[in-house]
Amino acid sequence: MSLSANAKTTAKLLTLAVGMLGFALFIMPPLYDAFCEITGLNGKTGGRYEAVPAAVDTERTVKVQFVASHNENMPWEFKPDTVEIRVHPGEAVDTVFHARNPTDRDMIGQAIPSLVPFKAASYFHKTECFCFNQQALAAGESAELGLRFIVDPDLPAGVNTITLSYTLFDVTERIAKQANNKNTDSEREG
C-alpha cells in the first residue's frame, strides 16, 4: 500500500520493459545471425575463409551449381560463366560471374549469396568472393567477378549437389544515404 512498494514494483517492471526493448533491438538480430551461421539456416554462407591445407578427396565428386538473379529494381545483366562445376572436396576452384551495367548512370551493386541445401552452408568456404565487397560499375561498364571456393571434405555424405545463388541488389542510393548520414554526423561534431 505504501508509495515505496508501488515505486519498487514500477521500477522493476520498467526495467523488465526496457530490458525487453534492448533484447529485441540489440540481442535478437545478432542472435539470429549467429543461429543462422551455426545451422546454415537461410543458406547464409560464412565470410572470407583462410584456406587450410587439406587433402583433396578425389574419391568423391560434388556438383556445384550457380544461379544468378537480380532484385526487381536492379537493371544489371548478371550471369555465371559456368552453370555447373564438378569438384572434389578439398580442392580450391575458381570461377567467374559476368556483370554489366547497361544503364547510363554509375551504379553500385551488392551480391547476396544463399545456398541450398542449408546443411551444406557451413561446409562451403569462399576464399575470395566478389560478394565480400560492393561492385561499382560506371555507365555501360562490364566486369568479371571472381569467386574461389573450397568444398569442405567433411561435407555430410548424401549431399551431392550444392546450389549457390547470388541475388544482385542495387545499393547506389543506400551507399549515398550512408555517406550523407556520415557527413551530417561529422558536421554536427565539427
Under the rule (CB under 8 A), what is the footprint of other proteins? 1, 5-6, 9-10, 13-14, 16-21, 23-25, 28-29, 32-33, 36, 39, 41-42, 44, 71, 110, 112, 118-119, 167, 169-171, 174, 177-178, 181
Question: Between 23 and 139, whose beta carbon lies closer to other proteins?
Answer: 23
Going by their DSSP bridges, the two strands 62-70 and 161-170 should be labelled as: parallel
Question: Between 17 and 51, whose beta carbon lies closer to other proteins?
Answer: 17
Q: Minimum distance between the CB of residue 104 and other proteins, rounded to whole angstroms?
A: 22
Question: Between 29 and 140, whose beta carbon lies closer to other proteins?
Answer: 29
DSSP 14: H
DSSP 7: H
Q: Minimum distance between the CB of residue 59 and other proteins, rounded to whole angstroms?
A: 28
Q: Minimum distance between the CB of residue 92 and other proteins, rounded to whole angstroms?
A: 25
Q: Minimum distance between the CB of residue 10 and other proteins, rounded to whole angstroms?
A: 6
Q: Report the number of secondary-structure helices (H) and strands (E) in the chain.
A: 3, 9
Identify the H or E element spanning 93.
strand 92-100
Question: Between 1 and 52, whose beta carbon lies closer to other proteins?
Answer: 1
Q: Minimum distance between the CB of residue 188 and other proteins, rounded to whole angstroms?
A: 14
Q: Is the dihedral of CA 120, 146, 83, 55 positive or negative?
A: negative
Question: Between 41 and 139, whose beta carbon lies closer to other proteins?
Answer: 41
Are 103 and 139 in contact, with CB atoms under 8 Å apart? yes
Are 188 and 166 in contact, with CB atoms under 8 Å apart? no
SS3 143: strand
Are 124 and 89 in contact, with CB atoms under 8 Å apart? no
